[in-house]
Amino acid sequence: MGACKQQQNFCSYQNTDVFSKNAFQYLEGIMYPKKVETGQFLFLDHDTADKLFYLRKGQIKITKVTEEGKELVLYIFQEGDLIGELGVSSVSRYNYSAKATRNCDVGVIQQKDLETIIWQHGEVAVEFMKWMSNMHGITRSKFRDLMLYGKKGALCSTLIRLANSYGKMTSTGIALSQHFTNTDLAELIGTSRETVNRMLSQLKKEGIVTFEAGGMIKIIDLAYLKEACSCEDCPLEICRI
Amino acid sequence: MGACKQQQNFCSYQNTDVFSKNAFQYLEGIMYPKKVETGQFLFLDHDTADKLFYLRKGQIKITKVTEEGKELVLYIFQEGDLIGELGVSSVSRYNYSAKATRNCDVGVIQQKDLETIIWQHGEVAVEFMKWMSNMHGITRSKFRDLMLYGKKGALCSTLIRLANSYGKMTSTGIALSQHFTNTDLAELIGTSRETVNRMLSQLKKEGIVTFEAGGMIKIIDLAYLKEACSCEDCPLEICRI
DNA sequence: ATATAAGTGTGATTTAAATCACTTGAACGG
DNA sequence: CCGTTCAAGTGATTTAAATCACACTTATAT
């Protein structure tokens, strides 16, 4: 379990970093393994939400798709992240889908089993609340960024979040360790591919970002990006993708 | 504590409806009273988030304001609602403000006191999680509605939520029991007063809504509003303002 | 190596929404 | 009753972003 890997990554947090070793062992105890292949869904919109998922390996995108096929990516989860809801009422349903964008090893946690642990161990309950609070913080801060500062602000906010989740510090800037296509970014922002392309070209021209081998984005002027979305320097567990 | 007051209100839920009588008594035990007058703030953006608030009476708007003065209203809380975050880390801060839009009677709950109860009573922990999950659900569903269906969809979604929170069923439609100005609605949607005015006029012309005495909105054609924002009939605890 | 698909880059055009600039109306206090 | 303030309504204009259309580039697979 993470903690900020200083220098190596710009700063990569897993959302399970809120759990103590002790609490995490309880979770391990009730997990059973599952594999999900690239392109497959871990769960679908409207499925019964009676499980949590611990992502051991791979990548999961949480998406919401409209009837017309427009796709909004709400989160991208990585190794060490916990996925799902703790509705605690047995009848609640997901209102988004979870799609594997790489081959995944997942630990499945049954709601019922988790509830037992929460009942018995106050410590685990408190840590779960911290996790839930963080997740809500991510959603709320994205909401703010995507609503208030236009598409340019939305892109800049998203680049900062990507830097926090995928960035590696180098002497010349923060290099994203993964390639994101214009379409990927557009789906994170809720805009069109063309708009992303034009905005990125502009940022490149102004020397805010550069493109490395394989189209990987490197952030040169983080301060500019922060300015563009009135960054409030939220804690890193919230400022993520 | 609520439960759906059938017929009387269209359907008014409080977000504390997740708590059992028993759990709520524990909360009552650690609350101390506070009054907040109309226009005053219960807390400000960036204040330390070490308290929860139970709203006994009055109304609180949760808002986010940009440097340029643009205001986004995230939630409107009513009697019986619980306000705040359960970050559980003592250093977390609000990243929004809470403004009283009526004279309020509030019960203040100290984070520390609450944590003790959560530790001791698994039942309370589980109910708190349900509450947190609901709050997150509200945020997520608004995010979706405001991002994906344009300003028209955003307005229609907001009218549905207002109906759930303030609507009274009548023989001719759902009458909102409170007046909302064009500016109020604009701040809920993240748009301009003029745009709201034009969209509302249009809805009126098409017979979707009417204006009653005092400018109160009455919803005639709920199905139309649902269609406009691809309503998924979320549970009522989530489809609120 | 070459066909095929997937992604990028850009101009032109359309559409949605914000902004500006007023007018009208309603409500409130002295 | 009149001036002041706050909200509603609306035309004209500008700006932001989506959409359309297509050329070009880069991977990938047979």
Locate the domains of chain B by residue range: 21-144, 150-228
Q: How far apart are CA A101 and CA A58, in angstroms?
A: 8
Asked if B63 and B100 touch (Cβ cutoff 8 Å), the reply is no
Render pLDDT for B80-139 as a digit per residue (tens, 0 to 9): 999 998 876 667 899 999 999 999 999 999 999 998 999 889 889 989 999 999 999 999
Mean pLDDT, residues A141-165 taken together: 98
Fold of A21-144: Jelly Rolls (2.60.120)
B214 φψ region: left (φ > 0), alpha (ψ -120 to 50), beta (else): left
| Interchain pair A140, B74: CB under 8 A | yes
Instruction: For residues A43 and A46, give the distance between their C-alpha atoms in angstroms, rounded to a whole number.
Output: 9
pLDDT tens digits, A25-66? 999 999 999 999 999 999 999 999 999 999 999 999 999 999
Asked whether A161 and A144 are in contact (CB, 8 A), the reply is no
Nucleotides of D under 7 A from a protein CB: 7-12, 16-21, 27
Which CATH code fits B150-228? Answer: 1.10.10.10
Question: Is residue A23 scored above 80 in pLDDT?
Answer: yes
In tens, the pLDDT along B184-193 reads 999 999 999 9
Give me the pLDDT at residue B88, please: 63
For the beta carbon of residue A227, count every other beta carbon within 10 angstroms.
12
* CA distances in angstroms from B100 to A27, B45, B235, listed in the order given: 41, 14, 27
Task: Specify the residue for token string 């998922």.
Answer: A53
Closest residue, chain B, to A235 (C-alpha)? B92
Work out the pLDDT band at A89, boundaries 50, 70, 90. Answer: low
For A13, residues 6+ apart whose C-beta sits below 8 A from its C-beta are A2, A4, A164, A165, A236, A237, A240
| CB-CB neighbors (< 8 A) of A94 in chain B | none
Write the DSSP symbol of residue B109: E
**A118 to chain B: closest CA residue:** B122
- Tens place of pLDDT per residue across chain B (241 aa): 544 544 456 666 788 999 999 999 999 999 999 999 999 999 999 999 999 999 999 999 999 999 988 999 999 999 999 999 887 666 789 999 999 999 999 999 999 999 899 988 988 998 999 999 999 999 999 999 999 999 999 999 999 999 999 999 999 999 999 999 999 999 999 999 999 999 999 999 999 999 999 999 999 999 999 999 999 999 999 999 9
Q: Which of B129, B135, B227 to probe the A interface (max A CBs under 10 A)?
A: B129
A21-144 and A150-228, same CATH topology: no
Q: How far is CA B98 from the centre of its chain?
A: 12
Q: Contact B148/A64, CB-based, under 8 Å?
A: yes
